[in-house]
Structure 1
Amino acid sequence: MDGPASPTVHVLDDLDASSAAWERISHDLPHPSPFLRPWWLRHVARGTPVHLVVLLDDEPVGGAALTSRRVLGVDLLRPAGHGVPCPDHVDLVAVPGHEDVVAAAFADWFARPGSRVLDLAGAPERSLAARSLAVPAAPMDVAPYEPLAGAFLETRSASFRRNVRRTEKRLAGLGVRQWSATAATADAALDAFEALHRDRPDRAALLADMPRLRPALLEAVACGEARVDVLEVGGRSAAVTVAFLVAGRLALYQLARSTEREHDGAGTALLVRVVEQAAAEGCTEVDMLRGEESYKGGFASQQRVLTRVRAAHGVRGRLLLAVWDAVRRVNAWRRP
């Protein structure tokens, strides 16, 4: 009598052959992340893409989307967009009920001969990768969020409502126009986004990544999983937002705003508009994504913990991770 089927793992350098299955699985996760969607993985990966697809009875049941680069003879595995693009809720993906199968298959693949280090920054608190490799998921950041029901602005504090309404009234006197990009106008909206960021030296690193981010955003807008909104004041761009729409969640990803005094508050006003429009269209949550920036407090009263999952295999892998930890401790000690 035949026993239960054993999972098999396919390692691909792109997801084209399994993109439909990956799209379905990543959409149906308990917390679907835009940073695991095919359009993100296709364009934002830096290094060599390493896509693991776990099959059971020849059917995809989950996997991992990583990138690899060689460091001192060690394969360093990270999520697509590691660094400035700041992905979060990146983890193994699994069809509900098949988490153990995917975790075991990933652990076997990670433990094959050779040296490697996994560095998964922005993983969820209950990370399947951490469970797979029996390592801790160390808290590293939070992602504020707020459930949506009804008129969003009415659920905010009195001072927040008052400030937004004053800003809207002032900007209206200068002439306000908001427009949401379509597939045909997304390039123009992203041009406005980049133009506003050029006035801010602190956004130089993000601008340097736009050649990778732009095609991902264009594809996401075209398939209805992103929106780019422009707020014009007096005929000039005053703020541009980039947000993702996956499985009924609005994830506010980037905000570019004018530094001119007459445009004060335009960014907040546009964010409120985008959230209220998404709520009216049926979104059930606004996710502010990774980071505790002060402005997020006006939009969200709850938060999720994000973690960092790190593991090593092989002598060189363990040595690299140990040296990395030592350098991090020294740097932390040196900080005032």
Structure 2
Amino acid sequence: MTGVSAEIIESSDALAALEPGWWSLWRRSSTALPFQSPAWLIPWWRHFAPGALFTLAAWKTGRLVGLAPFYVEDGPLGRRLLPIGISLSDHLDVLADRDCAEEAMDALVAAAMSRDDAWDLWELEELLPDALAMSLTFPAGYVDDIAQQSPCPVLMIPDGVASYPAILSQKKRRNINLARNRCARRGTVSIERAQGDEALDALEHLFRLHAARWALRGEAGVLAPHQVRSFQRDAVPGLEAAGLLRIHTLAIGDRVVAVYYALSQNSRFSVYLTGFDPDFDFESPGVVLLAHVIGEAVAEGCREIDFLRGQEPYKYEWGAVDRWNLKRSIWRAGNA
């Protein structure tokens, strides 16, 4: 007997009620990232809720020790268990208390299998190679398929490096200095980290600049949908209160021309979204701001700069190399 039991959370109120225990578990889980925090996932569910809630929660002596936030999508691909946060979250995973991780994860799996009549395919998406979900053990009679899913370029900061410019190429350092000089010629440059109530103001600047950038391509961009903006407005205060948010602005004169939205935890810094004013394309304020943001992250002790999903060329100019997210799919044998 392990003393760990699990239940399936199927109502939004019950999910929200988990928040205090969820935060405590998140802090005790060895691989937890901001994308798995209640500050991120509870607002996501509140604004999207695209299916029937099917969140697995494991308990030990009244304490939450495991959590797998999922829902059931009933669509053309059948009834799929999909992770809360899908699409907008670059890294997903389950949570388990480091003191009883194996027992907690076994209980989560047992709960899901006890209701396998409710789903046909369990999709564990956007998993880092060391994600806890890669350690889940499934019983006989189920097919377990693992495949590469998304490339996430990552810049690793070597031990002993206190100032990141030392690891950049000479060409990149020259381009940063050129951009700084061009920005300075347009006016007084000021860079600020938005904190407290200012974080939401910076977010609105990000919406504006991101839309302007994508409009030049004749596209709307990921932040265009009303639901996405509402979700971000809901999530940002909680991320800021938890100390996970890093949102910086660069202004030339009194005009904000670049914004970087990032998430920081322990030694990992994740560059999530950016926006810059296309009227200042020649000056490259985004380059100047990102150089500042990465410099602050390294000074805070971050050893990994994660540029998240996508193989945009600019990421490799900073020295990033691909690390692939994985996808793990589970289904009953004979049910393909």
* 1:305-328: CA deviation from partner (whole Å, max 9, x where unpaired): 21112223598xx3xxx4xxxxxx
Q: CA deviation at 1:164?
A: 0.5
1:223 aligned to 2:242? yes
In the TM superposition, 1:108-123 aligns within 5 A as 108-113=110-115, 114-116=117-119, 117-123=121-127
Confirm or deny: 8 A CA contact 2:149 2:326 kept in the other structure. yes
In the TM superposition, 1:42-61 aligns within 5 A as 42-45=42-45, 46-47=48-49, 48-61=52-65
Tell me the SS of whatever aligns to 2:196: coil
Matched residue, 2:5 = 8
Q: Aligned residues: percent identity?
A: 23
Structure 1: distance between partners of 2:155 and 2:148? 21
Structure 1: distance between partners of 2:288 and 2:84? 31
- Which of residues 326, 329, 336 in structure 2 aligns to 1:307? 326
- Which of residues 82, 85, 88 in structure 1 aligns to 2:86? 82
275-284 vs 33-42, which deviates more? 275-284
* 1:178-223: CA deviation from partner (whole Å, max 9, x where unpaired): 1221222122111111111222143434221111122112321233
The one-letter code sitting in structure 2 at the alignment partner of 1:34 is P
Question: Compared with structure 1, are the counterparts of its residues 305 and 31 closer, same or farther at alpha carbon in structure 2 (3 Å cutoff)?
Answer: farther
Q: CA deviation at 1:100?
A: 2.5
Structure 2: distance between partners of 1:34 and 1:105? 24
1:104 aligned to 2:106? yes
Question: Compared with structure 1, are the counterparts of its residues 138 and 288 closer, same or farther at alpha carbon in structure 2 (3 Å cutoff)?
Answer: same
Question: Compared with structure 1, are the counterparts of its residues 89 and 102 closer, same or farther at alpha carbon in structure 2 (3 Å cutoff)?
Answer: farther
Matched residue, 1:333 = none
Question: Compared with structure 1, are the counterparts of its residues 171 and 93 closer, same or farther at alpha carbon in structure 2 (3 Å cutoff)?
Answer: same
Confirm or deny: 8 A CA contact 2:294 2:305 kept in the other structure. yes
Q: TM-score, length-normalised on structure 2?
A: 0.83
Matched residue, 2:137 = 132
- Give unmatched runs, 5+ long, in structure 2: none
Confirm or deny: 8 A CA contact 1:32 1:246 kept in the other structure. no
Structure 1: distance between partners of 2:26 and 2:248? 25
Structure 2: distance between partners of 1:142 and 1:230? 27
Structure 2: distance between partners of 1:59 and 1:257? 45
In the TM superposition, 1:132-171 aligns within 5 A as 132-133=137-138, 135-148=144-157, 149-171=161-183
Confirm or deny: 8 A CA contact 1:115 1:312 kept in the other structure. no
The one-letter code sitting in structure 2 at the alignment partner of 1:224 is G
Matched residue, 1:325 = none
- Which of residues 195, 198, 221 in structure 1 aligns to 2:211? 198
Structure 2: distance between partners of 1:164 and 1:32? 33
The one-letter code sitting in structure 1 at the alignment partner of 2:271 is L
Structure 2: distance between partners of 1:11 and 1:122? 22
Structure 1: distance between partners of 2:177 and 2:16? 47
Question: Compared with structure 1, are the counterparts of its residues 67 and 115 closer, same or farther at alpha carbon in structure 2 (3 Å cutoff)?
Answer: closer
Confirm or deny: 8 A CA contact 2:57 2:108 kept in the other structure. no
The one-letter code sitting in structure 2 at the alignment partner of 1:227 is R
Matched residue, 2:185 = 173
Structure 2: distance between partners of 1:264 and 1:118? 47
1:268 aligned to 2:287? yes
Matched residue, 1:330 = none
Q: CA deviation at 1:27?
A: 3.3
Q: CA deviation at 1:28?
A: 4.2
Question: Compared with structure 1, are the counterparts of its residues 88 and 98 closer, same or farther at alpha carbon in structure 2 (3 Å cutoff)?
Answer: farther
Structure 2: distance between partners of 1:58 and 1:215? 29
Confirm or deny: 8 A CA contact 1:124 1:305 kept in the other structure. yes
Q: TM-score, length-normalised on structure 1?
A: 0.83
280-289 vs 128-137, which deviates more? 128-137
Q: CA deviation at 1:173?
A: 1.8
